[in-house]
Structure 1
């Protein structure tokens, strides 16, 4: 044995047999710094298993976890003008759109779908903050109108998950016009007597908060979600005062009567099932895989013998 056998050959083997390890197997929690395995994190709906911090989750992952069996049908949304103002800052608006579509794999900042939760048919509109900050443009307005029209046509309640930084500046006044448009869409649901439930996620700010996000029959928020019009930093700079701890967070707004519930993501599905069935005047949902009972079928109870068998020990 010599130095070539002892050192050079093992070194060459280690270089050529080295396995590439993916970089996205672990994710660090922003709140507590715990390293979380990606499969464990996904199974827990992107909620930290150590501290309970709610991280961002994509609309498709959210609706797959929400609907029965992860089965849903996507509702088509009318396409708006691609670049109505020919807006350009550091990049052209179409270039920014292409970058966002490539990074997220989605067409726009809102996903509209229909399916069942607890065997209760609903329509869901889910906003994507990772797509240009979930900004409210013409497509988002069209998506909410399409969701409301589908809900009215099918006579189903509508659930909206909001997550946005406000209006989309690249569309200017056309973006701000989505505030009254979406308000009219919500009014359509109210006139049809259909429930409209809003789940406010982190963050929900700007023109979204000033329109459809705060017009629900029931408002639920995820823990520690930032919900506001102007952010706390802007307010502090304006009034030159220190704001209270947790100001504009979900728990603070719940204490001050702005919200009805603060519900962890893992319990959101059950909460929505209960609320939608209550608002629709339906009985509690059937748990498990058994089919629901037929309400038209009459059942007759058999008489029960009240006397115990002689060989049954009463002390057993």
Structure 2
């Protein structure tokens, strides 16, 4: 073989060969199908710069976006019986829990933390739809109660970011009992004269909507969020009628007085800080 084949050709191939490119540098918007560079998406807090679609976020992202300077302290939540009914459908419930924990790096579908928002102390609970659809079982009920008690103990507002498919069927009646338990938790906060603020994100449905999610002193929603008890497809099949455009979306609910405001994710922290300041201003003046 000549020196051209043995030396020159490999050098040319190496020089002009394509470098390996990671497959996670670009993300496609599920609404407008436009491609978005990952850094631009992260800077814009997972909001499509082309159409404004709000993509689903992780628990850590929510907390980082909400608290001042990404500084907060997560609290240890009560431990519950992992599989009280030893439930099995296409796979064991215990296996579903294990897979969800490995995927999300959280113990269950909710995380509670406390810190400063706009310089004001707050307790924040965040639900994660990536954990078995954000469904509410005993662990979520216990977490909401723990968050409410912490807010009362610290005399600060409680903010809950909801994202859920409803009650967790693998826990049967136990999951349904979390509805009255979480309602009682909201009463603890309100009876203490503290603000209870709910931020409804996509999607918030089922037993979560039918319990604590609709009991906030202030009801905020992200643009385009689906907020309902039963989904539009189920309702259409039940009433056999075509639903209005945007039915059960945040903007439709705002127009019909169900929620108080629709706030873009990039403006959420500033909005929460302003609301907390307004609702607690009297207490600060009295303390002064």
Please give the TM-score of this superposition, normalised by the length of structure 1. 0.86
- Equivalent residues, number: 285
- Residue 112 of structure 1 contacts residue 143 of structure 1 at CA under 8 Å; is this kept in 2? yes
**For 1:106, what is the secondary structure of its paired residue?**
coil
Deviation at 1:10, TM superposition (A): 4.7
Matched, 1:160 2:160: yes
5 Å matches for 1:281-300?
281=281
Matched, 1:187 2:191: no
What is the CA–CA distance in structure 1 between the aligned matches of 2:267 and 2:22, rounded to whole Å?
A: 32
**For 1:181, what is the secondary structure of its paired residue?**
helix
**For 1:151, what is the secondary structure of its paired residue?**
helix
5 Å matches for 1:244-259?
244-259=244-259
Deviation at 1:21, TM superposition (A): 2.1
Deviations 1:146-186 (A, max 9, x none): 00000000000000000000000110100000000000000
**Residue 292 (structure 1) aligns with:** none
**Residue 232 (structure 1) aligns with:** 232
Deviation at 1:9, TM superposition (A): 2.4
**For 2:229, what is the secondary structure of its paired residue?**
coil
Deviations 1:198-225 (A, max 9, x none): 0000000000000000010000000010
Q: CA RMSD in A?
A: 2.0
**Residue 27 (structure 1) aligns with:** 27
Deviation at 1:102, TM superposition (A): 1.2
Which 5+ residue runs of structure 1 have no aligned equivalent?
Answer: 285-294, 297-316
1 or 2 for the larger relative contact order (CA 8 Å, sep ≥6)? 2
- Residue 277 of structure 1 contacts residue 283 of structure 1 at CA under 8 Å; is this kept in 2? no
What is the CA–CA distance in structure 1 between the aligned matches of 2:61 and 2:257, rounded to whole Å?
A: 30
**Residue 105 (structure 1) aligns with:** 105
What is the CA–CA distance in structure 2 between the aligned matches of 1:14 and 1:185, rounded to whole Å?
A: 65
**Residue 280 (structure 1) aligns with:** 280
**Residue 76 (structure 2) aligns with:** 76
- Residue 226 of structure 1 contacts residue 249 of structure 1 at CA under 8 Å; is this kept in 2? yes
Q: Compare the two structures and name the one with the higher helix fraction.
A: 2
**Residue 214 (structure 2) aligns with:** 214
**Residue 308 (structure 1) aligns with:** none
**For 1:115, what is the secondary structure of its paired residue?**
strand
**Residue 173 (structure 1) aligns with:** 173
Deviations 1:39-89 (A, max 9, x none): 211111100111111001111111112111110010111010011000001
Deviations 1:291-312 (A, max 9, x none): xxxx97xxxxxxxxxxxxxxxx
Please give the TM-score of this superposition, normalised by the length of structure 2. 0.94
**Residue 139 (structure 2) aligns with:** 139
Deviation at 1:144, TM superposition (A): 0.3
5 Å matches for 1:262-273?
262-273=262-273
Which 5+ residue runs of structure 2 have no aligned equivalent?
Answer: none
**Residue 202 (structure 2) aligns with:** 202
